[in-house]
């Protein structure tokens, strides 16, 4: 691996916040933190619609919301070949945390994640790209 150096100009406050964060996260120096950001950016940007991936959907919802649990289950059964694992945790009397691991072409995973997360009553939801399978 050939190493190069480059200069970066940025807002002083932004750099102060960045330094505090990477210190907490345990980075030894800025170079390692910036290199990780670059790798993550490249990893996500290069993704094509038909690239096979594994994505993880994390969502929180209130199971009292009318028809929500049924709608989420119906969506998951329709797409059962793509969903490789699910975990459901009852956070309290009302809220549920659900984590779904989804495998398939990037656009299919994104579409399914969008449908799940946009289901009426889902309070928070996010798709995390976990791995590329190409
Ligand atoms: Ni629950």
**Distance from Cα 70 to the centre of ligand 1, integer Å:** 12
**Distance from Cα 78 to the centre of ligand 1, integer Å:** 21
Task: Determine what percent of the chain is predicted with pLDDT higher than 90.
Answer: 83
Q: Check residue 48 and give its pLDDT.
A: 77
Q: Check residue 42 and give its pLDDT.
A: 82
**Distance from Cα 94 to the centre of ligand 1, integer Å:** 7
* Mean pLDDT score of the chain: 92
**Three-class secondary structure of residue 128 per DSSP:** strand
**Distance from Cα 92 to the centre of ligand 1, integer Å:** 8
Task: For residue range 51-108, list pLDDT tens digits in order.
Answer: 899 999 999 999 998 899 999 999 999 999 999 999 999 999 999 999 999 999 999 9
Confidence of residue 1 (pLDDT cuts 50, 70, 90): confident
Task: Determine what percent of the chain is predicted with pLDDT higher than 70.
Answer: 99
Q: Check residue 132 and give its pLDDT.
A: 85
Question: Based on the number of CB atoms within 10 Å of its own CB, is 129 exposed (0-12), middle (13-18) or buried (19 or more)?
Answer: middle
- Smallest Cα–Cα separation from 110: which of 46, 37, 50? 50
């Amino acid at each position: 691996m050939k190493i190069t150096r480059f200069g970066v100009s940025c807002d002083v406050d932004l750099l102060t916040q960045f330094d505090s964060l990477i210190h907490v996260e345990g980075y030894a120096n800025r170079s390692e933190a910036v290199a990780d950001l670059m790798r993550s950016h490249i990893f996500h940007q290069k993704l094509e619609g038909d690239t096979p991936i594994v994505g993880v959907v994390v969502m929180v919802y209130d199971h009292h919301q009318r028809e929500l649990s049924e709608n989420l289950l119906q969506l998951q059964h329709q797409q059962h070949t793509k969903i490789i694992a699910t975990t459901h945790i009852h956070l309290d009397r009302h809220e549920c945390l659900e984590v779904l691991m989804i495998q398939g072409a990037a656009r299919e995973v994104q579409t399914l994640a969008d449908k799940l997360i946009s289901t009426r009553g889902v309070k928070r939801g996010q798709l995390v790209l976990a791995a590329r399978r190409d």
